[in-house]
Chain A
Amino acid sequence: MESMVAKITQIILSPVLALIVGVFFLGLARKIMARIHWRYGPPLIQPVIDMIKLFYQKGVSHGRMFDLGIILSLAGSIVVVLFLPFGRIAPLSSSGGLLVILYIMLLAPLGMALSGGQGANPNISIGISRKLILSLGYEVPLLLVLLTVMTRYKTISIMEVVSAQQSTSWSIISFPLFLSGLSYFLILPAILGIRPFDMSSAPQEISSGPMVEYGGKYLALATIEHAFVLFISIALFVNLFLGGAANPVTFFLKMLVVFVLGLCINAVFPRFRIEQAIKYLWKWPTLLAFLGLIITLAIRS
């Protein structure tokens, strides 16, 4: 009974914490970008203010799939959060491991793409096309990285990866895995869709791409979804390479360091074209990830 209550508390707690962290990162990102641009920037809680405002505004709907797609997308992200350990909070991490996480992460972009598809706006189609091509681009190194980690620790369970690191040392400073960690860090902006990889939602070119038809609560839900994606991709990195954490506070601090580092490096780049992005992703990050996997295999046998 005790463990049941604890489990349910965790199930409720982890998406809420993820949402808070994600939204905080959204606000922080705008602030940091503003300081780099020599501007003052909006207050940290600006995303929250925007969201509350948006939930009270009317939006347009293009049909059933337009509504369901965004619901599916957000639900998918919430489920991924349940599978990701956040410090010691990991309600569902025992039901299938990294492979399941990898596949449930599909639900979010798929839902967005289906919802946008019914929006029937060419800007959306172009945006989704770019987004899917980009994700094919970063999946090549990302899959290699994840496979390296799973091969190194001989498990598909993310909990075991975390505990193995806590008993020895962080993956990022252990020999073959630092290559993979570096590769993950290099593709992180592409996963997050921030500059220089924001071609799929480029506001100046294609009117924010998949978001163009969203208004009101749709835009608010899309923002929440974005917050979750921020949380998930960084939390995955912390779990796999920075040894997870014993409590949520340490975990959050690790995430913060990774996020700010990533942001500062990428704030100074202009936007890539999609071909340039693919060329970049399939060159250095893939090479590093590939090397990491080869060495890991050689050590194993």
Chain B
Amino acid sequence: MSLELLLIIAFGGALFTYLVGKVSYKVRDFLAVVISLSLVTFVACLYGKSLEKTFYSGFFGLDLVLRLNMLSWFFAITITIIGALSIIFSLSYIKGREKTDFYFLMMLLVNAAMLGIVLAGDMVSFYIFWEIMSWSAFLLISYNKGPALAAGMKYIIMSIIGSVCFLVGMLSLYVSFDTLNISQIASVIGSASSGYILFILTAFGIAFGIKNAVLPFHTWLPDAHSEAPSPFSAVLSGILVRMGMYGFLLIFYVILGLKSFLGLGQGLYSFHYILAWIGAINIVIPTFIAMLQNDAKRLLAWHGVGQGGYMILGVALGTKLGVAGGTFHIVNHTSYIALLFLVVGAVEYRTGGIRDLNSLGGLIKKMPVTFVGALVGACGLIGVPLTNGFVSKWLIYKSLILEGYPFLAFAALIGTWGTILSLYKFLHNIFLGQLPEKYRDIQKSPISMQLPMIVLSLVILLFGILPGIPLKVINAIGISFGFESLNVGLWGITSETGVLNTVNIFAAVLIAAALVWLVFRSTAKSVPVAQEDSYAAGAHTPPDKYHYTAEFYNPLHRMIKPFLRDVIDEFYYWIASSVRSCAGILRRIYTGDVGNYVMYIILFLSLLIFVQMKWKVW
């Protein structure tokens, strides 16, 4: 299985699916699923291989290279799995909407482009795939029209700014080193001055930071995530945004190398320490903003920004545990945020597009599988033990504490509490509490929606109980970055500085729960009652009005709201509006009337003649 063939299947399959869709919907759906699943299989078969191949030489004198190593395999398998699951989920989600052929084309194209990014071995092909990804994502974000158009516009403008920064960095690298092959740059960049390296890091940092939605480049994300179709939101938040994280890993550890990355700057002013603080700020502020959201997808979107902070924090630390934790958190985040977006998608699908947290409730009785998905996903996002989120966070916290950064650890830990509050609100307002009268006849979600949710839930639990499986791959990545090997067992970490044994925790919880359950079963039976049959101090309980969800955290809201204004977004809007008014002034000059232009030319010429006559400059 060569890498070109993989990409040909990915891109060709996308186009072919589009063409087939013109003939038959059913065959197209089938084909989309088959292509995405076969990509998963092919990538899985490539496990452990290390390949490098020039697929096109002579692109303005440059070779375009594809290469595979542990890092790119790790991302590739995540991309293909999430891609396949979102395609399966889309089957019923998108049914009956307009332009479904186009939708499937774009979904497959986004996945193919991301696959291209992680397999690219030189900057040019990286950039080409990066742009394909950005533009197809733009088209998908705007798919729903209406407010989605504005969200897409915001996204693509920021994306273009990122691309320009990428181009600047890339051209500068080419001028300095005369090559754009990633491994060749890595071998010569050590000779560059630290000022130059800082410039390169800033250029690429802005490019990847915009994609990864790092503060202060995060403002496109909440709009884009909430307005996109839900299966694509899962891809977008799960893995597309994390391409920025891949870029960070690539630039910090593959190109620059561990030693020069940590050697940049001194003490408190060292580059990686400042980056770690950016990560910490990224955790706290977005998480607390998420708590105040009333739109289910917007709430999750803000967590997408917040969880990105954990990854940056871990990766920026530059210790073996920290980088392993940060990298592990990428795949964990992918699994649970994708699951949660799919859950919202299923709810939207059944309630007719409702995702306002204040008007839902009680759906646990109608959509039990979806609720279990939401619960597992929420636990993963919070980092409850026995889910994968806990293991990666444990790694990050532990390295923060042992390295002596308690304040960074504090930011990371308090972020967890913000997550609990907002995710409980999410669960409570959608699934718990009273079921409104209008949702009384709602159906449970279709099987093609349940399947991806079940798969993702199982992955979350499996990686949480046996974290050794993914950590083996991550350990190999860490070794390729130049770290010492971690002591990974199937059940967790055994290092000289402390042990994490998830199987022990799992067994303890299981036995304790079984014990309590036995007590519960053996005592007096309880009587099941209807939801209206609840204590109201003897008063009549009106149906439909007995659900307390609106303004769930009102007292806290009042206290912290003034501190959580999104000033950065306001600042960008201010720039946009000033650019617009400047353009308005310019438009007065460029009227489009030829007569005016002739007048400008004559005026300019007469000015020149006047200058010549008066001062004789020429």
Contacts and interface: CB of A to CB of B under 8 A. Distances in A.
Interface of A: 15, 55-65, 67, 70-72, 74-76, 78-79, 82, 92, 94-97, 99-100, 102-104, 106-107, 110, 113-114, 117-123, 125-126, 128-130, 132-133, 135-136, 139-140, 143-144, 147-148, 150-151, 154-157, 207, 212-213, 216-218, 220-221, 273-275, 278, 293, 296-297, 300-301
A122 B432 contact: no
Contact of B535 (A70, A94, A102, A121): A121
A104 B385 contact: yes
Contacts of A301: 404
Given A79-B509, A278-B559, A118 B364 contact: yes
Chain B residues touching A, range: 35 or more
Contacts of B528: 60-63
A114 B365 CA distance: 14
A71 B516 contact: yes
B297 to A, nearest CB: 21
Contact of B428 (A62, A76, A128): A128
A65 B508 CA distance: 21
Contact of A122 (B417, B509, B546): B546
B526 interface: yes
A76 B385 CA distance: 10
Which of A15, A65, A99, A274 is the most central at the interface, judged by chain B CB atoms within 10 Å of its CB? Answer: A99
Contact of B520 (A71, A156, A273): A71
Contact of B526 (A59, A117, A119): A59
Contacts of A121: 534-536, 546
B460 to A, nearest CB: 15
A71 B556 contact: no
Contact of A120 (B406, B417, B501, B531): B531
A136 B520 contact: no
A139 B407 CA distance: 14
Contacts of B384: 103, 106-107, 110
25 contacts: A15-B512, A58-B527, A60-B527, A65-B364, A75-B513, A75-B515, A78-B515, A79-B509, A95-B500, A95-B505, A96-B499, A99-B398, A100-B394, A103-B384, A104-B505, A114-B432, A117-B431, A123-B535, A130-B555, A133-B553, A139-B413, A147-B406, A154-B402, A221-B520, A278-B556
Contact of B417 (A136, A155, A278): A136
Of A65, A97, A273, A293, most buried by chain B (CB within 10 Å of CB) is: A65
A135 B519 CA distance: 29
Contacts of A120: 362, 432-434, 531, 534, 546-547
B390 interface: yes
A75 B512 contact: yes
Nearest to A140: B414
A220 B524 CA distance: 11
A272 to B, nearest CB: 11
B382 A82 contact: no
A218 B525 CA distance: 11
A126 B516 contact: no
A213 B532 CA distance: 12
Contacts of A65: 364, 371, 432
